[in-house]
């Protein structure tokens, strides 16, 4: 009976490991768990395109000026080969955008209607910050 329970637990453990990515770092294998280069989102044709690049140390550019209420298409590349990054700012109603190593994402967003300075950041790496100047 103990042998049967041990075999059942072993099979269950192997199945669980396979479901979690087979022991790879974070369970993410490029191209399997996410789209490496996401297509253009619907409705982005008339949006202003802002290209951003995550590196291990920063996001480039780290300051962007935009008009209040402007429709923005973010094209965010992650050139950090080891770490995922995210990008968000609740004050600017910018929901989290997660970017895996080597991935490029495209997201539509509307700039705040209230002029001011907003500071989105990477919650994973708090030293990576940027500034939106909304006019």
What is the tens place of the pLDDT at every residue in 73-104? 999 999 999 999 999 999 999 999 999 999 99
Distance CA(135)–CA(131), nearest Å, equals: 13
Distance CA(78)–CA(80), nearest Å, equals: 5
Question: What pLDDT is recorded for position 41?
Answer: 84
- Mean pLDDT of the chain, nearest integer: 82
Residues of the chain with CATH 2.60.40.420: 34-134
Q: What's domain 34-134's superfamily in CATH?
A: Cupredoxins -  blue copper proteins (2.60.40.420)
Cis bond leading into 61, ω under 30°? Answer: yes
| Residue 44 half-sphere exposure toward CB, CA atoms < 13 A | 14
- Whether 16 shows a pLDDT value over 70: the answer reads no
Work out the average pLDDT over 20-26: 37
Q: Are 73 and 49 in contact (CB under 8 A)?
A: yes
Tens-digit pLDDT profile for residues 59-69: 999 999 999 99
Question: What pLDDT is recorded for position 102?
Answer: 93
Work out the average pLDDT over 25-43: 64
For the entire predicted model, the pTM comes to: 0.72
- Whether 20 shows a pLDDT value over 70: the answer reads no
């Amino acid at each position: 009976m103990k042998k049967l329970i041990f075999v059942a637990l072993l099979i269950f453990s192997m199945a669980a490991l396979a479901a979690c990515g087979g022991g790879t770092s974070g369970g993410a294998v490029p191209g399997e768990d996410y789209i490496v280069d996401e297509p253009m989102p619907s409705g982005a044709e008339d949006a202003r395109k802002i290209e951003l690049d995550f590196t291990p140390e920063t996001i480039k550019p780290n300051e962007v000026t935009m008009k209040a209420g402007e429709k923005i298409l973010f094209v965010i590349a992650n050139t950090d080969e080891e770490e995922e990054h995210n990008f968000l700012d609740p004050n600017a109603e910018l929901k989290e955008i997660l970017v895996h190593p080597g991935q490029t994402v495209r997201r539509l967003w509307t700039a705040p209607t209230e002029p001011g300075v907003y500071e989105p950041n990477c919650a994973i790496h708090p030293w990576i910050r940027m500034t939106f100047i909304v006019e």
